[in-house]
Amino acid sequence: MRLGSVNYETRGKVALLTLDEPHKLNALSPGIRQGILEGLGKADADDAIRVVVITGNGDKAFCAGADISNFELEADKGRKFLAMALDVLAAPERCSKPVISAVNGLAYGGGFELAIASDFIVASERAQFAVPEIKLGLLPGFAIVRLADMVGRAKAKELSILGDPISADEAARLGLVLRVVPHDRLMADVMEFADRIASKPKLAVRMAKSFYNRGLGGDEMRHALDGFPLLFMHGDAREGISAFLEKRKARFED
């Protein structure tokens, strides 16, 4: 079944969502965003489904982040875009069932954020992770309210302020990734893990996720929504996005 630009299938008690715009590195297009929301909603409502797996089609990318080709750099439109993006990126947290991200390649920006919103990340040895929004004069709206709790304040600042990618092994060392597996074993390993979770008592698994995720989605999300649109008004954002689209080095203000 196709939901937007996401392929939805069931394998026993596991729902598999495959982001399917490999020609765009599975960036968060309207079709991908629609498919994520509809797919997670469908899996959550299906009593036969115990676990959800998200992955990307192709060997290059899990999800390369936002599609910035049509960004409108106005504060009000920036706030609306961020509200929409946060709704999608936080969807794995809201899902009552465990969500596993099988990261098969690049997980940048929104793709990184979608992965860390999942309960578990299992990564291919080829995977890379980054929040490169700083290079556009922006910041990651979701990761900036989650990373410090995951990797510590100093490392979260480094990742967000430099925007440089890290390897799957480094992500595992930081505790972002549960484990790294050979690329050609990724889906087999993930499905085996998902089946093991699916075999456990349903209510206890749901309660475990609920208890560990308590407190997520509160004031920190509202602060991000209120504060981040100001970045869209600054000249650095206009320069950063223009430079990216024109494939040149950005010249930020001194």
CA triple 163-186-156, angle to 5 deg: 20
Q: What is the mean pLDDT of residues 93-104?
A: 97
Q: What is the mean pLDDT of residues 76-85?
A: 75
What pLDDT does residue 235 have? 74
pLDDT higher than 60, residue 254: no
Structure tokens at 103: 């990261």
DSSP-derived secondary structure letter, 102 = E
Q: Are 101 and 122 in contact (CB under 8 A)?
A: yes
246 part of the active site:
no
| pLDDT tens by residue, 168-195 | 999 999 999 999 999 999 999 999 999 9
Overall CATH class of domain 2-185 = alpha beta
Domain extent listing, the chain: 2-185
Phi, psi of 122 (to 5 degrees): -115, 125
pTM, to two decimals = 0.91
Torsion of CA 163, 169, 174, 176, to 10 degrees: 80
Q: Which of 21, 38, 93, 133 is catalytic?
A: 133
133 part of the active site:
yes
User: Please, what's the largest Cα pairwise distance for the chain?
Assistant: 58
What pLDDT does residue 153 have? 96
What pLDDT does residue 70 have? 64
Q: Which of 113, 125, 239, 253 is catalytic?
A: 113
Structure tokens at 17: 């969502």
pLDDT higher than 80, residue 80: no
